[in-house]
């Protein structure tokens, strides 16, 4: 049984170009790489929860130093990363939202699944949106992402979006992987918008694998949390470990997932 993801290796790039890529059985997407995700997951109710445009202006645009101090600078372009972008619908919606609020934004969407990224690239209609196939947990992820920042004269992102991806990282990489995930984001950005899945989603994902007779998530039994309360406690501990400050609970979307705004240690030195 092949349970590895359709990574962007040279082999899977060939699959992207080829005619019949190997897909997991419907529903057995062990990285959350569901094929028709956006048929079932509305993007509007999540974009609506994002902080108001004024928040981005004050905390992100205005806090970039102007190259010529005496001259009023043009609005700063924000640079964002969307981790686990699937086929890119939410990434594109976020980009349109910023443009409609008059905030120029460049956004890079990354996903572990080459087929989904190919679809995202085929559908992209905005020049400020780019998609790349990349496993954020791989050792090469930082060096693969760095050129995107360098091209824009930045050392870090203004904001990283991580919608409904933390559970897949947790299930596939365990507690240590979840910590690495948060630590990497903390080092790479000024703010993080995080939509962590609740514990019941872990149970549903594990049940789905059993039902489809797919291998279990090897880390599931060993996670230090086994209910909602202990998952929340673990996340709080990891925020503290990586000096992430929860600055706002942005609310809950239509299907009851919370959206959190976290400040990274680097934001504190830039902004204050």
Q: Which residues bind ligand SAH (CB under 6 A)?
A: 31-33, 37, 41, 83-86, 90, 110-113, 116, 135-137, 163-165, 168-169
Shortest spacing between CB 211 and ligand SAH, in angstroms: 19
Taking CB atoms, the residue at the shortest distance from ligand SAH is: 84
3-state secondary structure of 245: strand
Shortest spacing between CB 98 and ligand SAH, in angstroms: 17
Q: Which of 51, 106, 52 is nearest to 76 (CA)?
A: 106
Rounded Cα distance between 86 and 96, Å, is 17
Closest to ligand SAH by CB, 43 vs 61, is 43
3-state secondary structure of 162: strand
Closest to ligand SAH by CB, 25 vs 153, is 25
Q: Which strand (E) or helix (H) includes residue 267?
A: helix 265-271
Closest to ligand SAH by CB, 83 vs 103, is 83
Shortest spacing between CB 94 and ligand SAH, in angstroms: 10
Closest to ligand SAH by CB, 164 vs 179, is 164
Shortest spacing between CB 225 and ligand SAH, in angstroms: 19
Closest to ligand SAH by CB, 75 vs 251, is 251
Shortest spacing between CB 272 and ligand SAH, in angstroms: 30
Closest to ligand SAH by CB, 32 vs 51, is 32
Q: How far is CA 47 from CA 18, 44, 75, 98, 193, in A?
A: 34, 5, 22, 10, 11
- The string of DSSP codes covering 58-110 is IIIITTSPPSSTTSPPPPPPEEEEEES-TTSHHHHHHHHHHHHTT--EEEEEE
Rounded Cα distance between 154 and 2, Å, is 39
Please enumerate in sequence order all residues whose Cβ is within 8 A of that of 81, keeping only pairs 6 or more positions apart, or say none.
107, 108, 109, 110, 145, 157, 159, 160, 161, 188, 189
Shortest spacing between CB 76 and ligand SAH, in angstroms: 25
């Amino acid at each position: 049984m092949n349970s590895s993801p359709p990574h962007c290796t040279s082999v899977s790039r060939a699959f992207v170009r080829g005619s019949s890529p190997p897909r997991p059985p419907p529903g057995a997407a062990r990285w959350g790489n569901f094929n028709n995700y956006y048929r079932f997951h509305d993007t509007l109710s999540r974009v609506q929860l994002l902080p108001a445009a004024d928040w981005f202006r004050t905390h992100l645009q205005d806090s970039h130093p102007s190259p010529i101090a005496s001259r009023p600078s043009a609005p700063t372009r924000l640079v964002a990363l969307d981790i686990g972008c699937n086929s890119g619908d939410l990434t594109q919606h976020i980009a349109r939202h910023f443009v409609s609020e008059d905030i120029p934004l460049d956004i890079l969407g990354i996903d572990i699944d080459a087929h989904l990224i190919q679809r995202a690239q085929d559908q992209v209609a905005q020049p400020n949106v780019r998609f790349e196939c990349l496993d954020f947990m791989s050792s090469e992820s930082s060096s693969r992402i760095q050129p995107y920042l360098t091209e824009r004269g930045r050392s870090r992102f203004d904001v990283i979006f991580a919608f409904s991806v933390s559970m897949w990282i947790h299930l596939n990489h365990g507690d240590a992987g979840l910590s690495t995930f948060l630590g990497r984001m903390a080092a790479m950005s000024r703010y993080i918008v995080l939509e962590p899945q609740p514990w019941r989603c872990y149970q549903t994902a594990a049940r789905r694998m059993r039902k489809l007779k797919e291998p279990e998530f090897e880390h599931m039994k060993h996670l230090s949390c086994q209910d909602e309360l202990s998952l929340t406690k673990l996340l709080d501990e990891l925020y503290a470990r990586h000096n992430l400050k929860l600055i706002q609970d942005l609310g809950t979307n239509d299907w009851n997932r919370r959206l959190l705004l976290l400040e990274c240690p680097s934001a504190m030195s830039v902004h204050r």
